[in-house]
Amino acid sequence: MSIHPAAVIDSKAELDSTVTVGPYAVIEAGVQIGADTKVEPHAVISGPTTIGERNLIGSFAVVGGAPQDLSYKGEPTELIIGSDNKIREFASIHRGTVEGNMKTVIGDHNLLMAYTHTAHDCIIGNHVILANVATLAGHVEVGDRASIGGLVAIHQFCRIGTYSYIGGVSGISLDVPPYIILAGTRNRTRISGINKIGLRRNGFSRETIGNLSKAFKIIFRSPNLLMKDAIAIAKQEIPDCPEVCALVRFFEESRRGVVKQTIMD
């Protein structure tokens, strides 16, 4: 264990023997940190928080802070972070609330860039990127390998689908479907198409991408169809593609509604 003498670590915190802690970092009671994790100078980690292995906690990051929610009355809610994450400088991640199953959860291999904010009760999957100053309000769910651009603000309770890409300076108030690109404009955010480049980079076959493109055209480019009818047609015409089934299921399970406007609208 390499702990700088200027670091402040509560005796009730539990750190693996291989953890590195820089000067003026503060680690409070109820924090557990796994092997080979590095805590940079001036970071603050509050508990109850569990952090896995090989994570980087950047300088001045606030991890496990109390939720910014008026209903929070000091309950022992928690933050759970997996392994191999990079949480960069000045990022903030807050614990859960009673209304949100008591916890905020972050998976593995994520990159949370500088000044990002992850509010109470969020659930972030694996291999997610939050660019600088991306902000998630409470109860947001982000699927695996989603990429969220800089200065993006996401409303509470929204879901961000797997493999989706959200362009910078976008305001999100509805669910974002999986596999698509959503671009910010001066007045609104609109879907521009399937995230073909991201899907290719992640090993999706040409056939799968073609099926998703076909489903996209049915759902988003059929002005004479009600959305529910377009979804039913996509399900009927492409029944054997798991990714299309996931896209359709995302619409069917949405509680807030899904972003529907496209660049062509």
Active-site residue (options: 94, 117, 120, 139): 120
Instruction: Tell me whether residue 203 is one of the annotated catalytic residues.
Output: no
Active-site residue (options: 30, 94, 100, 121): 121
Task: Sort 214 into a burial class: Cβ within 10 Å, 0-12 / 13-18 / 19+.
Answer: middle
Instruction: Tell me whether residue 120 is one of the annotated catalytic residues.
Output: yes
Active-site residue (options: 47, 138, 184, 198): 138
| HSE-CB of 262 using CA atoms within 13 angstroms | 16
Tell me the pairing of strands 180-184 and 189-194. Answer: antiparallel
Task: Sort 228 into a burial class: Cβ within 10 Å, 0-12 / 13-18 / 19+.
Answer: exposed
The answer to whether residues 145 and 127 touch, using CB atoms and an 8 Å cutoff, is: yes
| Strand ordering across the sheet containing 135-136 | 8-9, 26-27, 44-45, 62-65, 92-94, 117-118, 135-136, 153-154, 171-172
Instruction: Tell me whether residue 193 is one of the annotated catalytic residues.
Output: no
CA distance 136 to 120: 9
User: What are the residue numbers of the active site?
Assistant: 120-121, 138
